[in-house]
């Protein structure tokens, strides 16, 4: 039986302080949701204190119901067409130079929300020197939607595989598909071989060593540039249970295995998330 008491390396201070409160208040005043809050990210204190956040567009209700995620599932609200300008205003108030945009999955929209992503990217690109990273859903594998994202020219396009393929059936709804997600990463590189792509997955859900190595190989085979690997933490009752807490030493070993495979940049650790220190990852990859 797994000891579910948090090990010492998973202890974090409660969020607070002047910078945290300033970021929190700016975002609350803007009325914009962040994945930091909606997904109960453990890094919220650190990131808000550095005046960074990952904006969640297309509402905060997802059309899928993955058992590892705490974002609400149901019928989404109408898309806020003023959202691009609202995000731009918040970015200016925060003084950001690098912005990460993600979204819920919107299977109810014909393009999966790609057009709205483009509107947000284009609005942000009006700010001189601002760089944009997007973390996209699979758009149900729609190539035209992926072309919309690539043509909007964000600096980094991310799509997370999330977990080893053997866990998809039990933890993700039927509309989420391991091969489909790999194909998204492949298609992005086919459309634009020079675009920087990024993916990530979680450990601690019951995967084996062999499955982890196969997952790393599969993601690398898409041409993916950046890989992030983190510890799964149960966000609330009713979500999937943690099967294992992975040590920092083990994360480092897996990082070295991924780098040896050929990824340009890899972040691996208990608190690593796909948008954590995204600017640092971009800079390291761009300099390679």
Question: Domain residues for 280?
Answer: 12-287
Please report the pLDDT score of residue 266 as a whole number: 97
Please report the pLDDT score of residue 111 as a whole number: 97
R_g over Cα of the chain: 18
- Residue 2 domain-assigned (yes or no): no
- Residue 3 domain-assigned (yes or no): no
- Residue 20 domain-assigned (yes or no): yes
The domain spanning residue 273 has which CATH number?
Answer: 3.20.20.70
Residue 82: count other Cβ atoms within 10 Å of its Cβ: 9
Please report the pLDDT score of residue 15 as a whole number: 63
- Residue 28 domain-assigned (yes or no): yes
List the chain pLDDT tens, one digit each, 288 residues: 455 567 887 776 766 677 888 887 888 888 887 777 766 677 777 777 777 778 999 998 999 988 888 888 899 989 999 999 999 999 999 888 899 999 999 999 999 999 999 999 999 999 999 999 999 999 999 999 999 999 999 999 999 999 999 999 999 877 889 999 999 999 999 999 999 999 999 999 999 999 999 999 999 999 999 999 999 998 888 899 999 999 999 999 999 999 999 999 999 999 999 888 999 999 999 865
- Runs of H (alpha helix) within the chain: 18-30, 35-38, 44-49, 83-94, 114-124, 143-151, 168-171, 178-191, 209-220, 248-261, 278-287
The number of distinct structural domains making up the chain is 1
Cα–Cα distance, 215 to 223 (Å, whole number): 13
Helix 248-261 crosses helix 209-220 at what angle (to 10 degrees)?
40
- Residue 6 domain-assigned (yes or no): no
Specify whether the CB–CB gap between 59 and 91 falls below 8 A. Answer: no
Please report the pLDDT score of residue 1 as a whole number: 46
pTM of the predicted model as reported, rounded to 2 decimal places: 0.92
For the CA atoms of 43, 222, 138, 61, what is the dihedral angle to 10 degrees? -10
3-state SS class at 15: coil
- Residue 119 domain-assigned (yes or no): yes
């Amino acid at each position: 039986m797994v000891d579910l008491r948090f090990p010492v390396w998973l202890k974090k201070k409660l969020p607070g302080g002047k910078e945290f409160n300033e970021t929190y208040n700016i975002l609350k005043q803007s009325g914009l949701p962040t994945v930091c809050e909606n997904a109960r990210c453990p890094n919220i204190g650190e990131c808000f204190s550095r005046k960074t956040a990952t904006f969640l567009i297309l509402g905060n209700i997802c059309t899928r119901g993955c058992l590892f995620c705490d974002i609400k599932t149901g019928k989404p609200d109408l898309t806020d067409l003023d959202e691009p300008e609202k995000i731009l205003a918040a970015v200016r108030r925060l003084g950001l130079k690098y912005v990460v945009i993600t979204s819920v999955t919107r299977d109810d929209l014909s393009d999966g929300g790609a057009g709205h992503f483009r509107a947000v990217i284009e609005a942000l690109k009006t700010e001189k020197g601002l760089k944009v990273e997007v973390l996209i859903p699979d758009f149900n594998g729609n190539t035209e939607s992926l072309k919309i994202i690539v043509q909007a020219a964000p600096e980094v396009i991310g799509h997370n595989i999330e977990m080893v393929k053997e866990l998809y059936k039990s933890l993700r709804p039927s509309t989420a598909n391991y091969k489909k997600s790999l194909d998204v990463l492949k298609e992005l590189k086919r459309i634009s071989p020079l675009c920087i792509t990024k993916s990530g997955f979680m450990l601690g859900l019951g995967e084996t060593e062999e499955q982890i190595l196969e997952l790393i190989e599969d993601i690398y085979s898409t041409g993916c540039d950046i890989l992030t690997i983190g510890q799964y933490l149960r966000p609330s009752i009713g979500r999937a249970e943690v099967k294992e807490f992975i040590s920092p030493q083990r994360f480092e070993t897996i990082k070295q295995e991924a780098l040896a495979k050929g990824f340009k940049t890899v972040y691996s650790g208990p608190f690593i998330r796909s948008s954590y220190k995204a600017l640092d990852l971009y800079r390291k990859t761009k300099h390679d």
